[in-house]
Structure 1
Amino acid sequence: MPASLWNRGFVLWLLGTAQSQLGSALAGIALSFLVLHQTGSAGQMALTLACTLLPNLLGPLAGTLVDRWPLRGSLIGADVARGLLQLTVGGLALLWGEVPVWLVNAAAVLSGLAGLFAGPAASAAVPALVAPGDLARANGLLGSVGRGAWLLGTLAGGWLVTSWSPPVAILADGLSFLVMATLLGWVNLPRRAAAPGTRPDLWTELRAGLGVMGRSRLLVLAPIIALLLNASLAPVTAILPKLFDTLGASASGYSTFLALESAGLLAAGLLMVRFGERAAPTRLIGSGLLLTAVTYTTLWCWPVTGVLLPGALLLGLGFGLINLPFQTLLHQQVPQAYLGRVFSVLGMVSSMGMPLSLLLVSPWLDRLPLALWFGLAALAQGAGWLAWHWGCRQGQREPAAATA
């Protein structure tokens, strides 16, 4: 176990995360406006986003395989695959001028499949890179540095799309994945010891991961809350580019919104670095849910640029207060041998709300008032805060009841 937070493996991981986030921010803006410019439809953009997220339905199976395979191999393979896919889409867009939407969606599905292995593997790797006492600071640093890079990427993405073209930003994202794969080759991740005796089959190991989750009320409640939240936030993600287009801000306004959201996430990461060991993760998560609920209510009432941009900063802060402490909570409560399975099950349940929601609402995104989707997100965030508050109180009563 590393004695210092600033060991070579963690520093390389930090650098790789930063440049990968930079490239992903560039591509996120570029892909949105590539589809929007070719089709003029927010519904088509929603379908492309859904294609990226649909593979998450296979998350538990991927997480079980991640717990069996070497972490570094899973991470490098996923980054190489995603890098080649982005280079292909960006290169074809430069050569042809327009890429058929079916081809963009096929690449989105394949990229989502690769990310299916990268997500739980990356989450499971962090406890192997730092000491247990440094987990909160490490997650805070990864969140703040990653979001700082995302901030730069969104600002650069708006400039690239406006001054050059979406394919250039997509190519930059492809290169960033290949750089991340190269850096991972120098990170030493310890091999996990195999369990004694005959290894159980895949489905037995998957059930064991579910059993670990069932021991904690919060671990059972968290994916249900996330499912509700993501289902309501997905339409907001899809309509934002069109909303800024109707307000006359176009790509520059959208990229500024994402940049401010990233600045809020960066601030949350810095707060975690400074106070992460002192504040209870459960309280931070509740604060984040309440802040985002209030912010979405404000955007619902006043969907104008002057309110959207500062609202983005508060949303980013709220999302950071939800996500970063939850990473630490899982690292503290789940044995490392089960992290891949637990992260993948949570990811599957929470993220499947986005593609299902997008597929259901995509016909209505261009027909209903755009601000309406902020209101639905506000209601979902408020319900999530109430459910989390209830779960924390119930969790506090369980030990007392057991003692009695």
Structure 2
Amino acid sequence: MTTLWNRSFLLWLIGSAQARLGAALASIALSFLVLHQTGSAGRMAQTLALSLVPNLLMPLAGTLVDRVSLKVPLIAANVFQGLLQLTVGGLALAWGEVPLWLVNAAAFAGGLAAIFVSPASSAAVPALVPAAELARANGLLGGLGQSMGLLGMLAGGWIVAQWSPAVAILLNSAAFLIFAALLVWIHLPPRQQQATRTGLWADLRAGLSLMRRSRILSFLPVIALVLNGVLAPTAVVMPKLMETLGPGAQGYGVFLALESGGMLLAGALIAVVGRRLPLRPAISAGLLVAALAYAGMWAGPLFPVLLACAFLLGFGLGLVNTPVVTLLQQLVPGAYLGRVFAVLNAVGAVGMPLVLLIVSPLVDRVPVSVWFGLSVLALALGMVWWWVVARAEPPRPLPGQAEPS
């Protein structure tokens, strides 16, 4: 691709944005579907954990992604998830309540499909835009995705309050199917492949070996682990805290919307700055901002304070996520992108289900301020560790790559 604004990238931008809208609607809907049926934040944590457990298999999924055309896992997984959400939403609409075992099974199945989509999506972006426009493209994708997430969070709380979680889940089903249709029209050039074909485990080991050659590549999964780990208790305690404070589902929707708004601002800033963005300092700054946000929640868990901290948290997360993705896309050869991104996402995602499983029996008994305080500590330690690693390794390309930012 010779220009950022080509047809395939525009279709990808539109498809991913509306998919983000549907996911935002469903995230609120699923939380309150389980909460309304069981009245337990612990049950909600278990459902969320089941949707994330398949991430343990993501490195193998990413290795398979590197062996096929990216369209195959992208289209297949979106169609599967669309039909899955259609089933759950339809049953919830018809029955009023869906058996918890069925909700949990659907969450697990959806998680299995997602482990193919995540590495394939990250590997596709460098094939859609010029290498010099990667930071800008990721900023645009993140910014537009978060704007749709912002709209979805606001609308999701309102839809749940006015109608039912089933309506939001059905809208998410439509978003998956629309993205699958748009993918048919997106052109992805042939991928760089290895000269010789080896076994699945050998391919995975080759990806891990590539990561070990760089301290930066080795440490980026640790950052993902920290971020997902600190977000896990927030995802569990915040809906119940909102119910206690009074705003309920709509208040939680506003909280998530403001978090998305902060990420939107970060994405817009990165899109404007583009290749001039210093990626490593941006990651340090993002971790610091996120730690300050949790410190604010710890100091004053009141509704107005929580909303301000939500925006600050989103801004910090945005300053971390897009530079991390761009740094990997710059450093990793195309034939390895699927498995390297899969390792990054899997290690990061391990933090959330593990923390959810740990906190689920405690979340109804331990004060919320404790969870916020632990998040501050984890982010502060991660920031210091990243600063040391980033300073120890000067910017350098891996074989076959251009000089990174």
Both proteins in one fold, TM over 0.5: yes
Q: Is the Cα contact below 8 Å between 1:289 and 1:322 reproduced in 2? A: yes
Relative distance call for 1:87 and 1:397 in structure 2 (3 A) is closer
Offset at 1:332?
0.6
1:10 corresponds to which letter in structure 2? Answer: F
Give the aligned partner of residue 96 of structure 1: 95
Q: Is the Cα contact below 8 Å between 1:61 and 1:206 reproduced in 2? A: yes
1:355 corresponds to which letter in structure 2? Answer: P
Give the aligned partner of residue 61 of structure 1: 60
SS in 2 for 1:80: helix
Q: Is the Cα contact below 8 Å between 2:82 and 2:173 reproduced in 1? A: yes
Which 5+ residue runs of structure 2 have no aligned equivalent?
A: 398-405
Offset at 1:301?
1.1
Offset at 1:193?
4.6
Work out the CA distance in 1 between the residues paired with 2:376 and 2:138.
Answer: 27
Q: Is the Cα contact below 8 Å between 2:123 and 2:334 reproduced in 1? A: yes
Give the aligned partner of residue 376 of structure 2: 378
Is 1:19 aligned to 2:18, yes or no?
yes
What CA deviation, in whole Å up to 9, does each residue of 1:91-119 have, x standing for no partner? 11111111111111110010000000000
Offset at 1:147?
0.5
Query: Counterparts in 2 of 1:289-304, with a 5 A limit?
Result: 289-304=287-302
Work out the CA distance in 1 between the residues paired with 2:167 and 2:227.
Answer: 33
Give the aligned partner of residue 188 of structure 1: 187
- The correspondence for 2:352, drawn from 337, 349, 354, is 354
Work out the CA distance in 2 between the residues paired with 1:339 and 1:391.
Answer: 22
Q: Percent identity?
A: 58
Work out the CA distance in 2 between the residues paired with 1:31 and 1:383.
Answer: 33
Give the aligned partner of residue 130 of structure 1: 129
Which 5+ residue runs of structure 1 have no aligned equivalent?
A: 400-404
Offset at 1:361?
1.3
Offset at 1:223?
1.1
Is 1:84 aligned to 2:83, yes or no?
yes
What CA deviation, in whole Å up to 9, does each residue of 1:15-34 have, x standing for no partner? 00110000000000010000
Give the aligned partner of residue 323 of structure 1: 321
Q: Is the Cα contact below 8 Å between 2:86 and 2:173 reproduced in 1? A: yes
Between 74-83 and 368-377, report the one with greater CA deviation: 368-377
- The correspondence for 1:236, drawn from 227, 234, 237, is 234
Give the aligned partner of residue 164 of structure 1: 163
Give the aligned partner of residue 402 of structure 2: none
After the TM superposition, which parts of structure 1 deviate over 4 Å for at least 4 consecutive aligned residues? none
Give the aligned partner of residue 119 of structure 2: 120
2:174 corresponds to which letter in structure 1? Answer: L
SS in 2 for 1:352: helix
Q: Is the Cα contact below 8 Å between 1:293 and 1:377 reproduced in 2? A: yes
Work out the CA distance in 2 between the residues paired with 1:296 and 1:344.
Answer: 28
Between 314-323 and 213-222, report the one with greater CA deviation: 213-222
Query: Counterparts in 2 of 1:205-354, with a 5 A limit?
Result: 205-354=203-352
Between 48-57 and 369-378, report the one with greater CA deviation: 369-378
What CA deviation, in whole Å up to 9, does each residue of 1:310-334 have, x standing for no partner? 1111111000000011111011100
Work out the CA distance in 1 between the residues paired with 2:282 and 2:395.
Answer: 20
Tell me the TM-score normalised to structure 2 length: 0.96
Tell me the TM-score normalised to structure 1 length: 0.96
Relative distance call for 1:311 and 1:5 in structure 2 (3 A) is same
